[in-house]
Amino acid sequence: MSASAPPTTICEYPTDLVLLVVLWRLRYKLSLRDLAEMFLARGFVFSHEAVREWEVRFAPLVTARLRARQRGHGGAKWHADETYLRIDGRWCYLYRAIDREGNLVEALLSEKRDMAAARRFFAQALDVVGRAPEQVTTDGHDAYPRAIRETLGDGVTHRTSRYKNNRIEQDHRGVKQRYYPMRGFRSFASAARFCTGFEEQRQYFRAQVRSGERVSLAERRCRFRERWAAAMAEMAAA
């Protein structure tokens, strides 16, 4: 594609290029302008606003495709917690749950930290995994006991322990490290779209199957290449 005559519509760009831009946006610490500049060196001309438009349009598709691969998966023991994100000058709450092996169960951004948000979070987690866990470990948030009982059932053991929930508190680093360079979000909708997309791709490309598993660099690269090729092919065919 010539650098002298930039296209005017999304359809004029190759689908695999657009998906590549969106995946790079979700996965790597790159700004909208970084991505536009990187592809300019390859002969593709588009603005940072085009990248923003592609993210709005295609990030939900990427998220849905990766999320579908997670359905039915998830261990019997969950760790749930929430972390803070700054959106348009105010703090919002990213609810997250992982299983005992460190695999993502669910992530949900909420404007409030209350009973309704906790119920919605666990209901979505149950929908993704397809079955209630045996045990859920949380911190001392007052909404959790009732939300777990009402959405997951009375048979689920609820364990409250800040020390034993250190597993997910450490796991928050993933989204925090990706979020800090962005200096916050301008809108709740864009933050929700980005955070769910980030969490799903992070899980999809996770090298370890079990917590603490040792995976050689060669094997990490092999798994990454296979999953990247599979994701690109599946989404391009959608």
pLDDT tens digits for range 194-209: 999 999 999 999 988 7
Q: Is residue 140 part of a domain?
A: yes
Region of 21 on the Ramachandran plot (φ > 0 left; ψ -120 to 50 alpha; else beta): alpha
* The residue to which tokens 């979700």 are assigned: 26
Same domain for 138 and 177, yes or no, is yes
Under the phi-then-psi rule, with left for phi > 0, alpha for psi from -120 to 50, and beta for the rest, what region is 89? left
Indicate the residue type of 199: E
> Of the residues 51, 70, 89, which one is the last residue of a structural domain?
70
Beta strand 90-99 with 104-110 is antiparallel
Confirm whether 210 is domain-assigned: no
Taking Cα atoms as reference points, which of 53, 72, 60, 189 lies closest to residue 125? 72
| DSSP type of residue 92 | E
Last residue of a domain, one of 20, 49, 70: 70
Residue 129, pLDDT score: 92
CA distance linking residue 149 with residue 167, whole number of Å: 23
Q: Where is the domain boundary, 18, 40, 70? A: 70
How high is the pLDDT of residue 8?
43
Same domain, 65 and 94: no
Give the total number of structural domains in the chain: 2
Query: What span, in angstroms and rounded, lies between the C-alpha atoms of 193 and 178?
Result: 14
Cα→Cα distances 181→70, 109, 134, Å: 28, 19, 37
pLDDT on residue 3: 44
Indicate if the pLDDT at residue 113 is higher than 80.
Answer: yes
Given a contact cutoff of 8 angstroms between Cβ atoms, the answer to whether 194 and 59 are in contact is yes
Q: What is the pLDDT of residues 6-47, one digit of tens each?
A: 444 555 788 889 999 999 999 999 889 999 999 998 899 999
Predicted TM-score (pTM) of this structure: 0.86
pLDDT at 2 over 70: no
Residue 52: is it exposed, middle or buried by C-beta count within 10 angstroms (0-12/13-18/19+)?
A: middle
Give the CATH number for residue 175. Answer: 3.30.420.10
- Enclosing domain of residue 169: 77-204
Pick from 177, 165, 67: nearest CA to 124: 67
Does residue 4 lie within any of the structural domains? Answer: no
User: Which pLDDT tens digit goes with each residue over 120-168?
Assistant: 999 999 999 999 999 999 988 899 999 999 999 999 999 987 778 888 9
Q: CA-CA distance, 50 to 119, in Å (whole number)?
A: 37
Count other Cβ atoms within 10 Å, centred on residue 153.
Answer: 11
Token readout for 45 is 């001309």
Residue with tokens 């598709």: 61
Sheet containing strand 135-138, edge to edge, reads: 104-110, 90-99, 77-87, 135-138, 157-160
31 vs 48: CA distance, rounded Å: 8
